[in-house]
Every structure is written in structure tokens, then in C-alpha cells.
Amino acid sequence: MNRLTSLLLTLLITSTITSGCAPQDSMSNYFAIDTNHGRMVVIIYDETPGHRDNFSKLADEEFYNGTTFHRVIQGFMIQGGDPNSKDDDPYNDGMGDPGYTLEAEIKPELINRRGALVSARQGDQVNPERRSSGSQFYVVQGGQPLTEAMLDQSEQQISQALGSSFAYTDAQRNTYTTVGGAPWLDMQYTVFGELVEGFEVLDAIALAPTPGTTGQGDPRLRDMPLEKIEMTVTRLTDYTPSN
């Protein structure tokens, strides 16, 4: 066997071994969230590796399949991912998890813009480290585009809470004044991804009738859709964004 043939064979073997053992960070970060209202597609950020790996693991294990969006608030957000929502007791929805929480990965560059994918969590009183739920998340719907004055106020509130100066970048301000979001939640919750497709589905779920919007049903379930909105979450291995 001459040197060229030997080299080509070595490269072929190496390539085969490498492609058969792809590391986690080479896998797709795109996931489909399918509901009876249609499909949303999200991308999970590499900037939040703990949340990326956790969401990926749960999705690949089909943990989310059959859970619901148990809390929807028009103009604000939709929340889901609670394993308790798989049972027939609506009163325990929002209180479940996989048995663990996640260390916060809160970053100033990741904001609660329209379409942001964010970890839910317990309040500061019982969770001062702002650790994330192991599975529950919300997607920001947002209402109308925000004004500069609203963002100024948000900056002041965040700076006061942090005990240090906080300011949005020009790009972040442009995002909020163009597409909207929930800036009052910035620097409080871990933003770990965003919606890239299916904003009309997000809006449809946020508009789902609830006891709070219709006066029907149990007022204790104020923000729970009257009709169950179940989800199936799957990794998209061959997804290409349309824009």
C-alpha cells in the first residue's frame, strides 16, 4: 500500500469515527413545539449551556409531550412544561417539575423580547438565587411596541434592583420599540432561546379563552385555558430558518 492510499484510508476511518460520535454542541438547537393551534419553532441559545442541555435532554426524552400551556395571559406570555398538567387535576398545574431546579444564567444581552423563550421560577422570597424551574418555561407574546419612556423606567427599576447601573443597548431599545416584549422581567429570569417561526400560533394560544377573560369556569383557574392546549416538543435535525 503506497503512502497516498494509506493516508486516504486513515482520513476515511477518522471521518467515520468522528461523524458517528457527534458531540452535543454539533446537534441542532432548533426544536418544534407542536400544539392543536399549530407549530412553533424555537432556537435554544448556546450562551445558556445549562438550560440548553436541560431543555434538549427533556425534549429528546419526550418529557414535554402531553404537557400543556396551563397559563396564558393575552398581551403578556404563555407558560407551560409542567408535568402536573398531564393529569386530570387542574389545581396542581404550575406546581410541578422534574425534581430539580437549574442555576440561573441571567445575561444582560438576552432580553424578554416578543418571542423570547424563558425559564419560569419561584419568586425571590423563596428563591433569592433566582434558580429556574427544571422544566417550566414561558414564551413572551408582548403587546404593543414599547415607548422610550417605558424603557427608561425599566432601566431605572432594574438598576435599583441590581444595585448597579443597567442600560439597554441601542439594538435592544430598537427591538422593544419595534416588536415589543416584557422588559420589566429583564435580569430576573433566564432567557435561553427565542421563537423563530409560528408567531401566529403564539398569538392564538395567548388569545385562548380562560375563566379570567370569559367569566366562565372556576375563577381560581383565572389564566388557564378552558380547553387543554397540549404540546409535543421534538428536535429538528434538518431545520433551516426561512429568513
**Domain residues of the chain, as ranges?**
26-142+188-235
Per-residue pLDDT of the chain (243 residues; tens, 9 = 90+): 444 334 333 333 333 333 333 334 457 999 999 999 999 999 999 999 999 999 999 999 999 999 999 999 999 999 999 999 999 999 999 999 999 999 999 999 999 999 999 999 999 999 999 999 999 999 999 988 999 999 999 999 999 999 999 999 999 999 999 999 999 999 999 999 999 999 999 999 999 999 999 999 999 999 999 999 999 999 999 998 876
DSSP string covering the chain, please?
--HHHHHHHHHHHHHHHHHHT--GGGS--EEEEEETTEEEEEEE-TTSHHHHHHHHHHHHTT-STT-BEEEEETTTEEEE--GGGGSS-GGGTTS--SS-EE-----TTS--BTTEEEE----TTT-TT-PEESS-EEEE---SPPPHHHHHHHHHHHHHHHTS-----HHHHHHHHHH-B-GGGTTTS-EEEEEEE-HHHHHHHHT---HHHHS-S-GGGTTS-SS--BEEEEE-TT-----
Predicted TM-score of the model (pTM) = 0.88
User: Which CATH entry fits the domain spanning 26-142+188-235: 2.40.340.10, 3.30.565.10, 2.40.128.30, 2.40.100.10?
Assistant: 2.40.100.10
